Structure 1
Amino acid sequence: MPIAKKLSVFFNKSFFNDYRTIYWLWIAISVFMGIFNSMTGRLHNNYKIYKYVFLNILEQFPLYQPRPEFFDDINHYGPVFGIIMAPFALMPDLLGGTLWLVMLAMVLYYAVKELPINSWQHMAIFWICTNSLIIAQTNVQFNTVTAALIILSFTNIRKEKDIWAAFMIMLGTFVKLYGIVGFAFFFFSKHKPKLLLWSAIWGIVFFVLPMFISSPEFIVDQYKGWFNELVIKNQGNGSALQQNVSFLGILHKSTGNFDFSNIPILLGALLLFALPYLRIREYRQNWFQLLTLASVLIFTVLFSTGSEPNSYIIALAGVAIWFVMQKRPYTTWNLFLIIFGITVSSFAPSDLFPDYLYRHFIQPYALQALPCTIIWLTIIYEMLFRKSDNYLTDLQK
């Protein structure tokens, strides 16, 4: 029996196709990680940083200065993130940390279920993303919600809920900047002026919201500090082992040259990304919109110097969306790409991958980004030259 058919039979069993399986599995993963970190006295440093975004706003302590007595490293999130953290920061760490992880997982679960595809496609995306979710939850990463906000900006535009689409885009932008990529779906909106107007309104809301628990002068200063911190962080990401795990990182780390500018590469990538928009007649096609979403999710990770191994929950969501849109029987090339992508981009940083290969080959040269790079280029090619009959079109409306 061909491997594709074996996999199909295996995952067609009711246990693997039941939403409740993923729902409770993702909650169980989150609860386990939260309790384990707290009970072993190893409350993750990231959670401490998140918690103190809120507490520092209350104290009017600069958000982008070290507080080594409470946490290592420096905060890189916008002031409005403190409002999101408020209910969790006020709880005991065991409860707050655990519920925080559950919230991260459930937001992504909800976002994927909102995609206009069939249930078996939802389930395939869930399973493909599960290992990356475990890695993100282990490190208490907000990237899970970043992926969800990008997806929700897409689904709300499709549903003509442009007010909520603008909310998702601007929330993601004011928390971690990545949300700005949600404007890539602008051309799919039937209410473009409304989307722009509400983006401006939500932008103002998120800008001033932290002022209600602090002071306007302090928050304005923190926005200036946030900008400066992101510039400094970007400059330091290039050669860092755990940073720049991206296509940019592959180029820098494999050549050992960290001096050349990323700007020409980014301009070339943006040009490639934008080329499919020339196919204006395809804008209303489900397959074209979903491949655009896949492209956006992967692009966000591939061309950011801030990408970490944990960031690949965002890219894997894009890889999964691309894969479930392919018609069966899957081509050898598509099967190779999905296996290559899951193995290297998802499993490489985990204990399920040979440590020697990861430490000596994958990590030093940012090769975790390689499968996603090839898949992204494949998506761009498909969006430029293929037609709807190459993809599953019997989807939810």
Structure 2
Amino acid sequence: MGAVNRFLVNQKYLLILFLGVVIFASLQSYFGALKSFYEGGKLYTTYNNYIIFKQSFFHLIERKDLYVHFVEEQFDLFKYSPAFALIFGIFAILPDIVGLSLWNILNAAVLFFSVYYLPRLDMRTKGLILVFVIVEFLTAVQNEQSNALIAGLLLFTFGFLERGKYWLASFCLVSTIFIKLFGIVGLALFLLYPNKFKLTYTTAFWVVLFTLLPLLVVDMEQFIFLYKSWANLLANDHSISDGLSVIGWLKTWFGLNVNKTYVSVAGAILFCIPLLRIKQYSNFVFRMLLLASIMIWVVIFNHRAESPTFIIAITGVALWYYGQKQKPENYALLVLAFVFTTLSPTDLFPRFIRNEWMKPYVVKAVPCILIWGKITYDLLFAKLLPRINKAIELEK
């Protein structure tokens, strides 16, 4: 165990591990063969998601509608904000191999350093969190997704709030909203901290800034058109699929075709109930578990959740387990999450099991759903205590 502990507390070794994953995933994507997303369909690059982000910048400066199909260039739609399209120009103007690698490095760096910015956790615990999420992180960067970036920004939001750095906290949170709108759930964190007025005006400042940012390259008419088009896309996107979510779980396991709005409202109510324990706001473990709840909630109640999205939820799972006193039942749930959420999409499970059982029955989501239920229960009723560092205890 001594060698393992030395690895876990060595930030340089873990950084090398994360960069190695990024380099592997970037080269794998860039040099991968062209692929079709359905039988007999048009061929696209393996790094199609990056192409969607890249082309959004050029579509923006060319005054095109960002939210329509460009079948000759990419598969699927661009679904992020116009501000994201503009900022992505930093990568879009570079050769693909460079831009793709830097994009993945950004995702890795934000997630990696946000874990080390978490307060009141020792180096070994932070190492455990990073090791626990590494496989899920690989899945995210293999798909050139922004989810690791969002996970890191949420962690940074928490870290800055804990240190009273409200301008930076609101910047990080608003950034997640302008990447994927579900980041708005993170605003619940602001309820736990004093000086609500400062949190309000700093958030409003960043919202206005990010909203107006596209005016640097488009006129007012196109600006209004783009936001209307984005809103229309998001509204019509609601009924497309069930995803790896609570909705998909209810349908595939229990045959319940429940209205998605009702499920989301029920989830929102359950999420909000622990906020009634105002006296617990001063408890650091309560605040961290609420962050974990947010990170899992935005995935399991997202009807569009895909496998790469789960880096956000798995990071929340790691915070939940490693951020409080260890319990046998929590450990059992952690193992379930690692096996069936993190490992189930990998080649460790035979293809026929993945295709016949794991995917159709949204098994990847189930441990996260159970853990979110456990977090909600603990936030409401449990006595929340900080983690005991076993390595330190053994040395005493």
**Which residue is 2:195 aligned to?**
191
Q: Which amino acid aligns with 1:59?
A: E
Q: Identity across aligned pairs (percent)? A: 30
Corresponding residue to 1:232 among 230, 236, 242: 236
Alignment of 1:361-372 (within 5 A): 361-372=357-368
Separation of aligned partners in 1, 2:267 and 2:63? 40
Q: Is the 1:31–1:99 Cα contact (8 Å) retained in structure 2?
A: no
How far 1:170 sits from its partner (Å)? Answer: 1.6
CA distance in 1, matches of 2:254, 2:282: 42
**How many angstroms does 1:255 deviate by?**
4.3
Aligned position for 1:352: 348
Aligned pair in 2 of structure 1 residues 11, 335: CA closer, same or farther (>3 Å)? Answer: farther
Q: Which residue of 1 aligns with 2:310?
A: 312
**Are positions 1:377 and 2:376 aligned together?**
no
Over residues 216-242 of structure 1, what are the superposed CA-to-partner deviations in whole Å (9 max), with x where a residue is unaligned? 22122111111111122221123xxxx
Q: State the distance in 1 between where 2:188 and 2:159 align.
A: 13
Aligned AA for 2:14? I
Q: Which residue of the partner structure matches residue 102 of structure 2?
A: 99
| 1-structure distance, mates of 2:109, 2:343 | 22
Alignment partner, residue 12 of structure 2: 20
Alignment-derived partner of residue 145 in structure 1 = 149
Equivalents in 1 of 2:288, 2:303: separation in Å? 25
2:296 maps to which residue?
298
Residue type at the aligned position of 1:284: S
CA distance in 1, matches of 2:3, 2:373: 28
Question: Which of residues 117, 126, 142 in structure 2 aligns to 1:122?
Answer: 126
- CA pair 287-247 structure 1, distance change in 2 beyond 3 A: same
Which one of the candidate residues 79, 82, 88 is aligned to 1:79? Answer: 82
TM-score (norm 2): 0.91
SS in 2 for 1:13: helix
Query: Is 1:88–2:68 an aligned residue pair?
Result: no
Distance in structure 2 (CA, Å) of the matches to 1:370 and 1:257: 16
- For 1:85, the aligned partner's letter is F
Corresponding residue of 1:54 = 57
Question: What pairs with 1:219-368 in structure 2 (closer than 5 Å)?
Answer: 219-238=223-242, 244-256=243-255, 258=257, 260-328=258-326, 330-331=327-328, 333-368=329-364
Question: Separation in 1 of the partners of 2:247 and 2:146?
Answer: 22
- For residue 11 of structure 1, report the CA deviation from its aligned partner: 7.3
CA drift of 1:203 comes to 0.9
Decide which of 135, 139, 157 is 1:135's aligned counterpart. Answer: 139
CA distance in 1, matches of 2:280, 2:254: 39
Matched with 2:114 is 111
Matches of 2:223 and 2:363 in 1, distance apart? 39
Shift of 1:10: 7.2
Q: 1:43 to 1:364 in 2, by over 3 A?
A: closer
Q: Distance in 2 between matches of 1:86 and 1:50?
A: 9
Structure-2 separation of matches of 1:87 and 1:114: 26
8 Å CA contact 1:112–1:151 kept in 2: the answer is yes
Deviations 1:80-112 (A, max 9, x none): 111221111000011111111111111111111
1:39, CA displacement in angstroms?
Answer: 2.8
Q: For 1:384 and 1:105, how far apart are their aligned partners in 2? A: 34
Name the CA shift for 1:265/1:37 in 2 (closer, same or farther; >3 Å).
Answer: closer
**TM-score scaled by structure 1?**
0.91
Q: Report the equivalent of 1:241.
A: none
CA distance in 2, matches of 1:163, 1:11: 40
Unpaired stretches in structure 2, ≥5 consecutive residues? 34-44, 390-396
CA contact (8 A) 2:289 2:319 kept: yes
Specify the SS of the correspondent of 1:80: helix
Match of residue 38 from structure 1: 30
Q: 1:158 aligns with which of 151, 157, 162?
A: 162
Moved more, 148-157 or 370-379: 148-157
Give the gaps of 5 or more residues in structure 1. Answer: 1-8, 239-243
How far residue 77 of structure 1 moved from its aligned partner, in angstroms, is 0.8
User: Given that residues 247 and 302 in structure 1 are in contact (C-alpha distance below 8 angstroms), is that contact kept between their aligned partners in structure 2?
Assistant: yes
What is the root-mean-square deviation of aligned Cα atoms in Å? 1.7
Report the Cα distance in structure 2 between the residues aligned to 1:129 and 1:305, rounded to whole angstroms. 23
Partners of 1:383 and 1:100 in 2: CA distance: 36
User: How many matched pairs?
Assistant: 377
**CA distance, structure 1, for counterparts of residue 148 and residue 124 of structure 2:** 21
Bigger CA drift: 133-142 or 218-227? 218-227
Q: Distance in 1 between matches of 2:330 and 2:368?
A: 13
Query: Partners in 1 of 2:31 and 2:289 — Cα distance?
Result: 43
1:391 equivalent to 2:386? Answer yes
How far apart, CA to CA, are the structure 1 residues paired with 2:2 and 2:311?
24
C-alpha distance in 1 between matches for 2:8 and 2:193 = 34
- Equivalent residue letter for 2:386: Y
